[in-house]
């Protein structure tokens, strides 16, 4: 059973102007804002999945900006960016358990109305269709309530799990970017996928993902 705020391209009920903060849910998969109370669950999930996530995690190149050194500092930074409308950090819960994150970041307004999406999942929940549903809900909300026109997802060619997510979402591949992001200690090539509001089905991406599962 679906209890989804932000599904499709209509105007969802009960959402503040600007579309943040918000809770998006389909059956047992919930996307909600990251909060300080997530500290322990976040650390446990990251430690448990350290080896699995390391090949895909962004790293800071020499001379790059340093990252927040504590979880509280991370949450404060992301909340500030959310208020500014440049980043929207969602926690993914499955059946009430912390399962990962999906974030709309690098949001550019003005003439672009563009954002990029990144995500990670606790390996315990892999293979259950969690991430395609979570990303679909977040993208539907981005187009319907956050005013985005175009969203991009960059994926390392070796990351078969992430490639399956964009395949299920039906996102077109638009190019190949050598040395696109600093990942796992070096500059890595990425395949680029993007979708515009006009390319989204009128029923939304979540419905596309659910239909693909049938």
pLDDT, block means (10 residues), the chain with 214 residues: 40 51 96 97 97 93 80 94 95 98 96 96 96 98 96 97 96 98 95 98 96 77
Question: In this structure, are strands 114-121 and 150-155 parallel, antiparallel, or unpaired?
Answer: parallel
Give the pLDDT confidence score for residue 2 in this predicted structure: 39
Give the pLDDT confidence score for residue 83 in this predicted structure: 92
Identify whether the C-beta of residue 148 lies closer than 8 Å to the C-beta of residue 108: no
Give the pLDDT confidence score for residue 119 in this predicted structure: 97
Give the pLDDT confidence score for residue 46 in this predicted structure: 96
């Amino acid at each position: 059973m679906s209890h989804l705020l932000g599904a499709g391209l209509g105007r969802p009920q009960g959402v503040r102007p600007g579309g943040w903060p918000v809770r998006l849910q389909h059956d047992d998969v919930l996307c909600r804002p990251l909060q300080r109370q997530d500290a322990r669950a976040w650390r446990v999930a990251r430690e448990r999945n350290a080896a699995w996530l390391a090949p895909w995690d962004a790293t800071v190149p020499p001379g790059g900006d340093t990252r927040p050194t504590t979880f509280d500092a991370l949450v404060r930074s992301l909340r500030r960016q959310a208020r500014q409308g440049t980043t929207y950090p969602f926690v993914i819960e499955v059946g009430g358990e912390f399962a990962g994150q999906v974030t709309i970041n690098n949001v550019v307004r003005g003439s672009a109305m563009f954002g990029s999406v990144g995500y990670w999942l606790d390996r315990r929940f892999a293979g259950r269709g969690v991430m395609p549903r979570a990303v679909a809900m977040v993208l539907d909300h981005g187009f319907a309530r956050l005013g985005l026109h175009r969203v991009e997802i960059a994926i390392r060619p070796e990351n078969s799990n992430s490639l399956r997510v964009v395949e299920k979402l039906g996102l077109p591949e638009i190019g190949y970017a050598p040395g696109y992001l600093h990942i796992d200690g070096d500059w890595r090539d990425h395949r680029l996928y993007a979708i515009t509001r006009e390319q989204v089905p009128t029923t939304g991406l979540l419905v596309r993902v659910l239909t693909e599962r049938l």
